[in-house]
Structure 1
Amino acid sequence: MTSPENILIHLSSEQERQVRNLFAELEVRGFPKQHQTPHITITFSPEMDQSVVKRAAEILPSVIPAQFRRVGTVIFGTKRKQTVCWLLETSDELEIAARELCALNPQGRGPRWTPHLTMGLRLPRELVPEYIRALDEIASPHFTVLTAQRAVYWKPSTREMRILADGIVGQSG
């Protein structure tokens, strides 16, 4: 199975590093290694219609950079492998833009968007409660606001990454 094409939002470099550090700490505690680059998916498709990519390049620059607030933990999946994510909320402007892009994607889920950051991908169901407990223990209660600094189109089959919106205006420590 080929990975789908995506329109993604990437975190600031510092926050991406913080998430990768959480992944590393969870691995030290015996949980499966997480290989994914931390990101927030807007929409995906086996083959992304280029009109969706074009529209994303038109509307995302006005809403990136963006702030996301961590509002909970959710579990996706109903079978043996499940995914643990931080549930996020963002500005109305980005929410409206993302829903428009989702609706434009012919192979998408319609105008629905559930912003989330995957913290544990395809975990065995029996590990999920312990994984969430460990994640809660190591994630700072102050790490609640995430900054999205770049939106990209990602085509895994050719490793093409096209920047659609770049909100990096300076480095923050």
Structure 2
Amino acid sequence: MPDQALELSFDAASAGAVEAQWEALREVGLPSQADHKSMTNAPHATVVAAVAVDPAVVSVARDAIAPLLPARIEVRGLVLFGQGPRYTIAHLVEPERELAAAVARIRELVPALRHPVWTPHVTLARRVPQRLVPTAFEVLQSSETPRELIADRLRWWDPALELIEDLAAAPGD
């Protein structure tokens, strides 16, 4: 079963900038998140992913993150995850200090995290064959890369219920 997740999603301009890079990859026939057809597919940075997340943790996350939105997230460059033969390509991102501290506190409350060490990132492509990684990097480096993204909501994904719920949104949303 897929993981439950708490995710930071982005305002329209930020999401559009990431989606443009997804499209740039797809246009040249490379794997891209644009190919992912799930109802949950939207540019985001995962805060927590685990088989199960206690509803009390979800409530704590909402209370901790809502006052921090909207939040700037700086794009620091491309990062490659994996050990071959296929890789994930993502933007390595750096949230504002207060948001990063809130995420750290929330992650401490989840005993079975999918990834115990948080590496904030925004996925651009998954399952990229090793031989195509250099081409994907060329495409991404020649496309317009956002310098920052604006996280404007926290969303909750529960695959068992097929539920995507906005838990917190920036004022005015």
- TM-score, normalised to structure 1, is 0.88
| Match in the other structure for 1:153 | 156
Asked whether 1:59 is paired with 2:70, we answer no
- The answer (yes or no) to whether the contact 1:150–1:168 under 8 Å persists in 2 is no
Deviations 1:89-147 (A, max 9, x none): 1211100000111111111155x42211101122112211210111110124xx20110
| Match in the other structure for 1:12 | 11
- The answer (yes or no) to whether the contact 2:4–2:49 under 8 Å persists in 1 is yes
CA distance in 2, matches of 1:39, 1:161: 13
- The answer (yes or no) to whether the contact 1:49–1:106 under 8 Å persists in 2 is no
The alpha-carbon deviation at position 54 of structure 1 amounts to 1.5
CA distance in 1, matches of 2:136, 2:159: 28
| Match in the other structure for 2:24 | 25
- TM-score, normalised to structure 2, is 0.88
The alpha-carbon deviation at position 69 of structure 1 amounts to 0.6
Q: Which amino acid aligns with 1:118?
A: T
CA distance in 1, matches of 2:32, 2:62: 33
Q: Identity of aligned pairs, percent?
A: 27
2:74 to 55, 69, 73: 69
Tell me how many residue pairs correspond in the alignment.
Answer: 166
The 5-angstrom pairing of residues 78-93 of structure 1 reads: 78-93=83-98
- The answer (yes or no) to whether the contact 2:93–2:121 under 8 Å persists in 1 is yes
- The answer (yes or no) to whether the contact 2:32–2:124 under 8 Å persists in 1 is no
Deviations 1:39-91 (A, max 9, x none): 10001101222222111011111111100111121111113221111111121
Q: Name structure 1 gaps, 5 residues minimum.
A: none
- The answer (yes or no) to whether the contact 2:24–2:139 under 8 Å persists in 1 is no
The alpha-carbon deviation at position 33 of structure 1 amounts to 3.9
CA RMSD of aligned residues (A): 1.6
